[in-house]
Copies of this chain bind each other. A is one copy, B any other.
Amino acid sequence: MVLFEPLQLGSIQIPNRFAVPAMVTRLSGDDGFVNDGIIERYRRFAEGGAGLIVVEASSIHGGKSGPLLKISDDEFIPGMAALADACHTAGEGKVFLQIIHFLKVARSGWRQKVGDLSVEELELLPDLFADAAERAMEAGLDGVELHMAHAYTLSSMLSRMNRRRDHYGRTIENRLRLPSMVMQRVKERVGDFPVGVRFLADESIRRGYSADDASLFAIRFAELGAAYISLSVGGKFEDAVQREGQPLYPYTGYSGDRCMPGDSYPDAANIWLVKIIRDALRAAGHTTPVLGAGKIGTVELAEKVLGGAAPGPALSGPDTASCDIVGMARGLLADPYMPRKAMNGRRDEVVQCIYCNVCKSLDESFKTVVCYLWPKGAIQAPRPQESRAAAAANSSPNGCPPDSSVVPRASGGPAWGDEQELVAKVGPGEVRLRWSKPEHGEASGYDVLRSVDGGDYAVITSCTRTRHLDDMALRDHSLRYRVVPYDRSGFRGQSSNVVEVELDEVAL
């Protein structure tokens, strides 16, 4: 599989194409120092086998930085060194630090804009970024990623909303001027230490830019020697929702939905934009690796967007890849051990993100970011239990089971007791499911599976509760449901009974 192949990023190599994109944890204190909680979070990504781990955005300038880590002074180097060391001890993945400059936001709703900055203020940025990159290098990290995405300073320079009348605004070259200076200054300072860049494929705001502008940005950063190009979408201030007494937060509006597409969105909802940009980059002769992200949550889908899964004649046709590295923020938050499980042929033990966006809501509410699928109260993902992992390894040493293999295995698993009892209550336009816990209480979550008109069962959600409302069922179709429990290692138990229903009709 392409997903398991190594890839060169500038002067270093990542062991596979799984990437953890920068994701705020809100585990950091106000002081901006790395703490034990932060280290534990990233250690799990490393243990789990991700090839590229991008540590959450760290501020390059002094002053308040809310929930962010800092790299604005040499005093932050030891903490970063401990983080790098923990990850390098735990796994083979390379660890990059995302470095960020942002403008002021007040609780009143006021925010500083790039149009407010003097040329002198703007021109301080390249050295601030270069200083931060140098500190990351000193700390033993494997690279830095320049944050030019979402609502922050460099993204606002690239934005179509940047209407500065001087040579830093309006036209594409002027919008690129400061970001290009930053990349150049950083590269001059750190030599062949890898420098990646993340920017938006599409702003997802009224009068914002889309993939055509982003293709030119990609070409520019490739020319300047970016180790990789990471593409996100949305996450802007322009459409953020003002909440009483809170500073404006850029993931609360529609562009925040597009940044972290939830369960209503199609899989890989942003990949068509990534493909346009990567194709433009390749057409311009650049081989710079491109990272795509946005609701790519399964091994199968990841392989597909890497161009590896197209069956038959298409393989001999043009390049079908949409990206070279797959960013999975929420997918790897739910189960940091997905890469290792997949590489060991244990795909059926992955706890699969359902894109409920509880993690996103926690971030927006200024709370520690955890996953809804983790055991209740946990602030870190559960480690697979050693005994279970060993049992798993014994029962199926090699090879990848088929996609639909969430069915329980006959042997090698824990004792779950008798099958769970599933009951359905049907109303106009809805099916309410409720089931009992397994007898021996091993379950940390449940996959809910549905078959329509006798077709294959598909997981429609996973949950930690013992009930689910199916609001996506159509009348005049036969619906079958069953539930499969899994333990904290992701090891699936025995299926419940099957219930078969049809939606009740309404007398009109």
Contact = CB atoms under 8 A, between A and B. Distances in A.
A313 interface: yes
Interface in A54-95: none
A430 B164 CA distance: 14
A209 interface: yes
A376 interface: no
A-B CB proximity, top 5 nearest? A174-B429, A173-B429, A171-B471, A167-B428, A171-B429
Contacts of A429: 167, 170-174, 177
The CB with the most chain B CB atoms within 10 A, among A261, A266, A314, is that of A266
Determine chain A's interface SS by DSSP, over half rule: loop
Interface of A: 123, 160, 167, 170-174, 176-177, 181, 204-213, 216, 219-220, 223, 239, 241, 253-254, 256-257, 261, 264-266, 269, 272-273, 276, 312-314, 316-318, 428-430, 471-476, 503, 506, 508
Contact of A266 (B210, B216, B253): B210
A474 B172 contact: yes
A172 B210 contact: no
Given A174-B429, A503-B173, A212 B266 contact: yes
Contacts of A474: 172-173, 176, 216, 219-220
A155 to B, nearest CB: 16
11 contacts: A171-B429, A171-B430, A172-B429, A172-B474, A173-B475, A174-B428, A212-B264, A223-B476, A239-B254, A312-B318, A313-B316
The CB with the most chain B CB atoms within 10 A, among A167, A171, A503, is that of A171
User: How many copies of this chain are found per oligomer?
Assistant: 2
B223 A173 contact: no
Nearest to A201: B266
Contacts of A476: 223
The CB with the most chain B CB atoms within 10 A, among A223, A254, A256, is that of A254
Contact of A473 (B173, B210, B269, B508): B173
A257 B206 contact: yes
Given A313-B314, A429-B174, A508-B181, A257 B472 contact: no
B471 A208 contact: no
B317 A172 contact: no
A170 B223 CA distance: 50
B314 A206 contact: no
Given A254-B254, A429-B173, A264 B473 contact: no
A67 to B, nearest CB: 23
A471 B172 contact: yes
A454 to B, nearest CB: 13
Contact of A506 (B167, B208, B209, B472): B167
Contacts of A316: 313
Contacts of A209: 264
A317 B314 CA distance: 6
Contacts of A173: 428-430, 473-475, 503
Given A206-B257, A207-B257, 8 more contacts: A167-B506, A170-B429, A173-B475, A174-B430, A177-B506, A206-B239, A212-B264, A313-B313
A506 B180 CA distance: 13
Given A173-B475, A473-B172, A474-B173, A210 B265 contact: yes
A234 to B, nearest CB: 10
Given A216-B474, A219-B474, A429-B167, A264 B160 contact: yes
A181 B253 CA distance: 34
A172 B317 CA distance: 39
Given A212-B264, A254-B205, A264-B209, A172 B472 contact: yes
A204 B204 CA distance: 9
The CB with the most chain B CB atoms within 10 A, among A170, A220, A264, A473, is that of A264
Contacts of A176: 474
